[in-house]
Structure formats: C-alpha cells, structure tokens
Copies of this chain bind each other. A is one copy, B any other.
Amino acid sequence: MIEQRKLRVAVLGGGSVGSQVASLLIAHGDELAARAGAVLEVVGVVVRNLDAPRDGDIPRELLTTDASALILQADIVVELIGGLEPARTLILEALNSGADVITANKALLATHGPELFEAAEQVGAQLHYEAAVGGAIPIIRPLRDSLAGDRVSRILGIVNGTTNYILDRMDVEGDTLENALAEATRLGYAEADPTADIEGFDAAQKAAILASLAFHTTVPLEAVHREGMTSVTLEQVVSARKAGYAVKLLAICERITDAATGVEGVTARVHPALVPLSHPLASVHGANNAVFVEAEAAGSLMFYGAGAGGIQTASAVLGDIVSAARRHVAGGPGVAESTQANLPVLPMSSVTTKYQITLTVVDEPGVLAAIATQFSDRGVSVEAVSQSVRDGGDEARPTATLVIVTHRAAESSLAATVTALAASPVVSSVVSVLRVEGQ
C-alpha cells in the first residue's frame, strides 16, 4: 500500500469548540483521512493554561502555550481563540507561512476580513470560515460557490440563536423579555453578559460577512445599521401574532437603488422586524438559525439548522479542514475572496421598508382622515388600516387602537410622520413602530 500523505493541523484554542475539533480529528482519523486524501495529524492544541480542565480526549502532550512555534510546523491552522488579538496576528503568521487557515471568528472577519483575505491571496493560501455564520448550517460555501453565477438581491437571516430563543419564548410562552432572557441564561443560550447578542452586535458582524460575500463587495462592520431587541415588549409580540406576524431579530442585506440619487449599492442592517407568519422564517423556533436568500435566477432559498453550539461549530470547522486538506493534496493555490464588484455601501437613509404603526387615537368621526393626511403629507403610502372597537379613554374622550401598515417608505419620511402623529391632538399615544420584512 502506498504511504498516505500527512498534513499537520494546529488548533489554536482549547475551549469547547477547540477541544471537540481536536478530539474528533483524532477519534475519526481514518474516516477523515479517506475523505481528505491525507492523514490529518493534530500537531498541537494551543491553550492558555496547560492545567485547566477541558472537554474531549486530547492527549496531554499535544497541549502547548506557544502558538507561534506551533504555527510554523502546520499545514492547516485552526483559529478558535476568538476576539481580535492575538487571533489576527496569529492568523497572519499562519497565512504568511503558507498554511491554510480555518476560523470561526466572526468579530475578526467583520473587522479585519479584507486584510486577512489579502494576506491569503498574496501567498496562495486559503481562509475558510464556514463556522463564522450559522454554526453548522452551510451558508458561506453556498453563497461563495453555489450562487457565484447568480445575482443575490436580498438576505434575511435569523443569525443569533439567543435572541431568537428569547423572542420565540415571548411569543410561545407569553414570557416577558426579562423572564425569557433569564431562562436563556439558565439554559446556557445567553452569556453572563448578553450585550453582544441582545444589542445585535453579534448579528451585525454576521451581516457584514454575509453582505460582503453575497455582493462581492467589502461591507465594513461600521456600515451595518444596528438596533438591538431590548425595546421589544411582550405586548408587541402578542399584538404581532394577532395581526399575523412573528417578531424576529433579523440581519438584512440588500442590493438596492437609492431613490434620491439613483445610485445602486448594498446595505446591511440588524433590527427587530415583523415577519408574516406565512414566511418560512416565522417558523424558526427556539435557538435555531435560518438564512433566507433571494437571488435573481435561483429564486428564494432557505438554509436552516441549529445555531452555534460547540459541536455544531466543530462540524463546520471539520468540513473546512477536509476542504483545505483536499486542496493541499490537489496542489495549486487557494481561491481568492471575490470582492471585485466593489458596489457602494449605502447608508440606512437609502433603505426603504414597510412599517407597522400602532396608535391610540380619540374615537370620534374624522380621526381616520386626519391621521391618513399625516401619512400622505409626508409621501408615506398606507397599505392597510385596522381599527379596534373603543378600548380605552373615558366617557368624555373614548379611545381606540389603530394599526397602520405602510407601503415601503424611507426611514426619514416615516420618522417625520411619527413625530407629526405624536403631536396630533387626535392621537393619545404612539404605542409601537416596527418594520415589516419578508413581504
């Protein structure tokens, strides 16, 4: 039998994902070698503390604290440290030494992606990052390869499992946001400091990565409009369901034309939105993730699965390791990241969306006309209005609830309308303003 080629794999990071990746590489060695066309030898696992307890079965002698020394021995480097530094420096060291790099580090990719892709291209190495978005859900490769001949027009993604768990629990169990968050923390879905999830920072990083990939254009993290979901109330979730919607925190990437300037470009944003119950994203429950892609020729596609648990992320990382190994075996440089389209990245003010506005209004003749005028005066077109029966106020001044859904409107026009409504004598209060997506 011919001796099989051997490829040396260095794992940076001995946390949950790193331990599982190293353990599975060792445990499934023969199987993975057959698929990769080369033996994948784990040459070391870089940890901060050699004596810390860790998951999985990693032989003690593989543990090291010297990342730079280990990188020099490796054909494939797996970065699972997280954070910007030293991850960035170590990845650059690895790429410059000619190693292929696999990372799940969304913060780093969203912040320093172009620098890393450039470094990989310079030496003909390749940077893989299937695990950075959606855990084990294959979304990076489908966008980069399968849809490479198509034109993606829009991505709507539920890319943060923690916030989907919280919103789904509010919807299904009737929990308040505080209680649902407490439950998410208890179950380990939310971290001790949940800011990155609930304020949308995590989703914004993923939006930057998805938009860059889908539109072949570098979309910097700073260009992603971000609103968290801490302002979503149980009342909003309950009313949404009655009106035929689920509330989801969405990462939205769109190719649009600015109505004022005629400039065609791309946008990325993260905010809570109403999704019609008939839309496939409305059925994504618990901590699951899903990415809905609309493309010119392919039509609508959806990719669905568990979010980023340790074992799911390990699955995606192992797939990337096998892909990298196959390329090493085949020879030839890696495929460079495609950012040749260089479309302008447009600001949030270029975006138009539908809105649902809930108002408490004085229940008397002429009110609807007065309110409709506030919309039409600012060029916002109304798609649907529903008015409840008298449900508040007092005998002298009874009130009712009015729910208005607009056609697509610019944020500035909508904001001006809401300001005018709030000041109107027939409006008691503006209860809620939410964007509507997926229609």
- Interface of A with B (CB < 8 Å)? 20, 24, 28, 31-32, 34-37, 124, 130, 135-138, 141-142, 145-151, 216, 280, 283, 295-306, 309, 311-312, 314-323, 326-327, 330-336, 338, 340-341
Contacts and interface: CB of A to CB of B under 8 A. Distances in A.
A149 B318 contact: yes
Nearest to A306: B299
A298 B32 CA distance: 16
B304 A299 contact: no
Nearest to A130: B146
Contacts of A333: 330-332
A346 to B, nearest CB: 19
A35 B340 contact: yes
**Majority secondary structure, A binding face:** mixed
11 contacts: A28-B149, A35-B216, A35-B341, A135-B298, A136-B146, A138-B301, A145-B319, A146-B316, A297-B318, A298-B312, A301-B304
B331 A149 contact: no
Contacts of A338: 34-35
Contacts of A297: 20, 24, 136, 311-312, 314-315, 318
A341 B36 CA distance: 12
A330 to B, nearest CB: 5
A135 B150 CA distance: 13
A74 to B, nearest CB: 17
Contacts of A36: 148
Contacts of A309: 299
Nearest to A32: B149
A427 to B, nearest CB: 39
B24 A322 contact: no
A332 to B, nearest CB: 2
B335 A149 contact: no
A306 B300 contact: yes
A173 B211 CA distance: 39
Contacts of A300: 305-306
A326 B331 CA distance: 14
Contacts of A311: 297, 299
A299 B295 contact: no
Contacts of A312: 297-299
A273 to B, nearest CB: 20
A366 B323 CA distance: 62
Contacts of A314: 297
Given A145-B323, A150-B315, A302 B302 contact: yes
Given A138-B142, A280-B283, A330 B334 contact: yes
